[in-house]
Copies of this chain bind each other. A is one copy, B any other.
């Protein structure tokens, strides 16, 4: 990087230091969490069962991940040999460029996969360490203590995401300089792939257990949530951790990473065009500013409830978290403007960062409008509950469909801001502007992940309390924290989707500019844009749009199937004399192993679909059709993801409204309709919807990685052979996902 002036070199080192500070802060949060007391023996017994279940699941999943990562490592290493390294790499590394890039990209891939795994696994473990301690604090009747522990344990994951994300991206850039995109793509792909595994597996697990346990426990037997007589209850609590903690953390980590990747790809083109290095340095520094803001913000959470100035005082835990988010936002926007003006002389960059920050903030009232029972949409669902399940579900689906439109419009406004700011200039500026929105939007990932992880921690604490039988006051504290967690979880879910879309859109733009560069290097005809007015691209576009539908279909089916198995098992255990009377402890582990098996079954096939279909479209048609394919995936993926997330959330809250004593309260016909509506909404909002985020990113990354190979070998015998292999893999995946699991398969998975 001989173009960088010394101060820029220092800035990069500064960014590295911030990354380490973030990790040190995370380490401190961990220590502070486990220093707390673990409560009574009875609570610890419940907790150990959850812990064992979650760790067992993670071990199984890790094995599958390791298998795939090893297989892909070889392919990624060899892939570098089929096309010459980039000019930038040759400039930098001379005749060793080939080997260095091969090794570099492979290591980056492994690093990305490892970081993503660490975020998911470590985050979940600390969350589990946290939940028992939250319960213990609640038993000691210390509301603020419980809140602090829960939030700190959640923040651990948030700062881990921030630290590792910033560390990975910056380090790779410092080593590879202008050749960084080559390695960064490997880094991003590794991380996204693992995130995909965690999202799919965790999502299916959590809802198969939840739906199954609820259908027999709540609907058939009329037991309360988390009743210890229900054999599915531990699996349900485990599910909250593997779904909401591990899956979400890995997913957001990836969006954080992918926005850096696309920013650097687009930034390097601008650097080439203008000679200015700030296109690269600026976004990294802004991210570092964001990390510091997150640290400051998250540290302020405990103070807002007793803040001296009444006007700013938070009236509950939820508001305290929002207040801390606002602190972070103001801090980031202020320093970003200052830095942009002084260093880059480009206020537009900071304005777009601010748009991104604002985007993350605006999804709060937007989600809330469509999912809060105080607002019109959920009120209408409640109205429909009077006439039964069918009208309830229809209203819920309609709310979800409508909300997806508004979510798209908000994203359009963000895109339009970049369009307007750079109107009249070369198109690349506006595309880079979108990446800047992404940089801003994810700069407070620390806060977002903290708020998200807070959910399952509070939920599990509540479950432990319920099962161990704690006092009235402790129970109230935990119930309240649980409710707060439900809201914060719902908000971060929306942000996760929107950020995945912004990240994918930036990747898509990187794809468009990248293929042009490669084609120029290979001396073939250059694709300067992706058209959808030719037949081949329309076909690619249609297939791309269909993929999220296929994906959702299979993940919903997997939940329904898993839930059916859980229902059968829980029913069987209820028939054992003494279980329903609470005299015989049910076999929780059996249900845990069923849900683990159900969630593992779809992992490979859904991943194969995400990787094979874009490659097939690229090889059978061309890179332009593949671009149209990506556009189709982003469009229908975004719409479906929000539709499903909000339908589920709105139905959930409509049910809670009745449970609060309206329309006859618990046990009334309206409540029954509410429970059924919620059960239908659950896999939509927690499995199918969230699984689309990493999928959207995976298809974009694999396309970026494969594009040069496709451009070079299109139409050769080898390409047809590979297309054949991919087709066989796709058919295998479709067959596997469309077939229900047999009992002997469950046992095979359980034994493995």
A398 within 8 A of B: yes
Residue among A383, A553, A563, A740 with the most chain B CB within 10 A?
Answer: A553
Cross-chain contact A567 with B533 (CB below 8 angstroms): no
- Bitwise, A552-586 to B at CB < 8 A (1) or not (0) is 11101101100110010000000000000000000
List residues 385-431 of chain A with CB under 8 A from any CB of chain B. 386-391, 393-395, 397-402, 404-405, 408-409, 411-412, 415-416, 418-419, 427, 430-431
Question: Which chain B residue shows the least CB distance to A556?
Answer: B398
A533-B512, A636-B635 known; A505-B683 Cβ under 8 A:
no
Determine if A529 is an interface residue (Cβ-Cβ < 8 Å). Answer: yes
Question: Shortest distance in angstroms between A644's beta carbon and chain B's nearest beta carbon?
Answer: 10
Bound-complex Cα distance A416 to B384 (A): 46
CB distance from A373 to the nearest CB of B (A): 16
User: Hey, what's the 0/1 contact readout for A529-563 against B, CB within 8 Å counting as 1?
Assistant: 11111111011011101110110111011011001
Q: Is A239 an interface residue (CB 8 A)?
A: no
- Check if A393 sits within 8 Å of B553, measured CB to CB: no
Q: Considering the chains assembled together, what is the distance between the CA atoms of A543 and B638 in angstroms?
A: 12
Residue pair B395, A545 in contact (C-beta under 8 Å): no
Q: Is A498 on the interface with B (CB-CB < 8 A)?
A: no
What is the CA–CA distance of A560 and B680 in the complex, to the nearest angstrom?
17
Check if A738 is an interface residue, CB within 8 A of chain B.
Answer: yes
Interface residues of A in 501-548 (CB under 8 A from B): 505, 508-509, 512, 529-536, 538-539, 541-543, 545-547
Identical subunits present: 2
Instruction: Report if A532-B535 is in contact (Cβ < 8 Å); known contacts: A545-B639, A550-B405, A636-B635.
Output: no
Per-position contact with B for A642-657: 1 when CB-CB < 8 Å, else 0? Answer: 0100000000000000
When the two chains form their complex, are residues B389 and A389 in contact, meaning their CB atoms are under 8 A apart? yes
Could you tell me the distance in whole angstroms from the C-beta of A684 to the nearest C-beta in chain B? 8
Does A627 interact with chain B (Cβ within 8 Å)?
Answer: yes
A182 at the interface (CB under 8 A from B): no
Q: How far apart are the CA atoms of A738 and B533 in the complex, in Å?
A: 35
CB distance from A540 to the nearest CB of B (A): 9
Q: How many residues of chain A are within 8 Å of chain B by beta carbon?
A: 83
A401–B688 CA distance with the chains assembled, in angstroms: 11
Interface core residue of A219, A380, A394, A738 (most chain B CB under 10 Å): A394
Q: Report A139 CB to chain B, min CB distance, Å.
A: 34
Judge whether B683 and A557 touch: CB under 8 Å.
no
Question: Closest CB-CB distance, A534 to chain B, in whole Å?
Answer: 6
A250 adjacent to chain B (CB < 8 Å): no
Complex alpha-carbon distance, A215 and B415, angstroms:
45
**CA–CA, A563 and B394, complex, Å:** 11
A405 partner, pick from B549, B631, B683, beta carbons under 8 A: B549
**Please, how many angstroms separate the alpha-carbon atoms of A679 and B393 in the complex?**
10
Contacts of A395 in B (CB 8 A): 556-557, 560
- What residue of chain B has the Cβ atom nearest to residue A531's Cβ? B529
**A551 and chain B: residue at smallest CB distance:** B401
Q: How long is the Cα–Cα vector from A399 to B534 in the complex, in angstroms?
A: 31
A711–B412 CA distance with the chains assembled, in angstroms: 23
Interface assignment of A356: CB less than 8 Å from any CB of chain B: no
With contact pairs A391-B211, A543-B412 given, residues A557 and B404 touching in the complex (Cβ less than 8 Å) = no
Q: Which of A289-326 contact B (CB under 8 A)?
A: none
A509-B530 CB under 8 A given contacts A405-B550, A543-B408, A740-B380: no
Task: Tell me, yes or no, whether A632 is within 8 Å of chain B by CB.
Answer: yes
Known A402-B738, A434-B535, A738-B402; judge A631-B389 contact (CB<8 A). no
Query: Does any Cβ of B come within 8 Å of A676's Cβ?
Result: yes
Given contacts A431-B535, A539-B412, contact A387 B740 (CB under 8 A): no
CB contacts (< 8 Å) of A393 on chain B: these are 393, 680
Residues of chain B with a CB closer than 8 A to A538's CB: 415, 505, 631
A470 at the interface (CB under 8 A from B): no
- A405 CB contacts on chain B under 8 angstroms: 546-547, 549-550, 553
Which chain B positions have C-beta within 8 A of A399? 553
A628 within 8 A of B: yes
Q: State whether B391 touches A535 (Cβ < 8 A).
A: no
Q: Which residues from 472 to 510 on chain A have a C-beta closer than 8 Å to any C-beta of chain B?
A: 505, 508-509
The residues of B that contact A740 with a CB separation of less than 8 Å are: 380, 383
Q: Which residues of B contact A546 (CB under 8 A)?
A: 404-405, 408-409, 639
| Measured CA separation A387–B232 after assembly (Å) | 15
Measured in the bound complex, the distance between the Cα atoms of B679 and A393 in whole Å is 10
Q: Which residues of B contact A557 (CB under 8 A)?
A: 380, 394-395, 398
Would B404 and A549 count as touching, CB distance under 8 A?
Answer: yes
- Report B-chain residues with C-beta under 8 Å of the C-beta of A211: 390-391
Give A727 Cβ to nearest chain B Cβ, in Å: 13
For A547, the closest partner residue in chain B by CB is B405
Give Cα A631 to B399, complex, Å.
24
23 A-B residue pairs with Cβ-Cβ distance under 8 Å, sorted by A, are A215-B387, A387-B567, A388-B676, A389-B389, A389-B676, A394-B557, A394-B559, A394-B680, A398-B552, A398-B560, A402-B549, A402-B550, A404-B549, A415-B538, A427-B534, A509-B533, A529-B534, A531-B532, A532-B627, A542-B638, A545-B639, A635-B635, A676-B676
9 nearest A-B pairs in the assembled complex, by CB-CB distance? A401-B553, A390-B679, A402-B553, A529-B531, A419-B535, A398-B556, A530-B533, A512-B533, A408-B546
List the interface of chain A (C-beta within 8 A of B).
211, 215, 219, 376, 380, 383-384, 386-391, 393-395, 397-402, 404-405, 408-409, 411-412, 415-416, 418-419, 427, 430-431, 434, 505, 508-509, 512, 529-536, 538-539, 541-543, 545-547, 549-550, 552-554, 556-557, 559-560, 563-564, 567, 627-628, 631-632, 635-636, 638-639, 643, 676, 679-680, 683, 738, 740
